[in-house]
Amino acid sequence: MPKYGFLGLGIMGTGMAANLVRAGFEVTVWNRSPEKTAPLVALGARVAAIPKEVVEASEITFAILSDPAAAEAVCFGAGGVLEGLRAGKGYVDMSTVDAGTSRRISAAVAAKGGRFVEAPVSGTRKPAEDGTLIILAAGDRPLFDEARPAFDKMGKKTMYLGETGNGARMKLIVNMIMGGMMTLLCEGLALGEKAGLEQEEILEVIEAGALANPMFKGKGGAILAQNYATSFPLKHMQKDLRLAVLLGDELGQPLHAAAAANETFKQARGLGLGEEDLCAVYKAVKG
């Protein structure tokens, strides 16, 4: 039975690591706020004081951190991943970052004799808890194959996308589309209300036709219920939109709709909504 490590026990990481522990794997965990390790310890996980110790205790270490700065800090910082690596060990970063960040981490891991896979995930809190994420992996193919038993406990679909950077790009594009869709749904609901229409009926019409999709149904219902309990933090969606727009700049691809969505989410962050669910962007749209 392989020994796994897991770094980052936030909204996503807690459920993902728990699924590994429940599957019977030996798992060592770390989180910047130590109190968040308690639920994993109750399930049978071990705890390390610093990321270096997790890597030393594990054959493959998984990480899911909040943004590029956090991913680099855990890798390059004092007591970080690089200090625990030795030849043959695997590091799988499941954070949503830009391709440049992923490539920098990959090169540093390789320089220490380790192996690297990026594997950002598509999904929110419930899929993380249920083990039904979509995993978008790229990088070292043998490490990807070795990590597959763990991926299969964390996700319902795992894709191998080739060279490092492709997983990051795929995730940013998927979230860019989601952010744009979320913005337009909110504008439609706000406009409909001001036009004297029932928002429940707007959602009913959407659900009955070609626009039907799980996000509109779930987030639309949450907006009507004024339930903004965090499944995917609004601040993280804005970060992903910003990184997608930067990718468009890098490649010379116009992204008019994505740029507009980014500004809407940026406005919502300015209103103090960053810690709420991404559907709280409705409050900024409605005004």
pLDDT one-digit tens code per residue, 50-81: 999 999 999 999 999 999 999 999 999 999 99
CA dist., res. 121 & res. 189, Å (int): 29
Report pTM. Answer: 0.94
Predicted confidence at residue 100, as pLDDT, reads 97
Q: Which residues are catalytic?
A: 171
Predicted confidence at residue 1, as pLDDT, reads 80
Check pLDDT > 90 for residue 261. yes
Predicted confidence at residue 267, as pLDDT, reads 98
Check pLDDT > 90 for residue 107. yes
- Reported as a single tens digit per residue, the pLDDT across 16-32 is 999 999 999 999 999 99
- Paired sense of beta strands 115-118 and 133-139, if any: antiparallel
- For residue 207, CA distances in Å to 127, 215, 277 come to 21, 11, 22
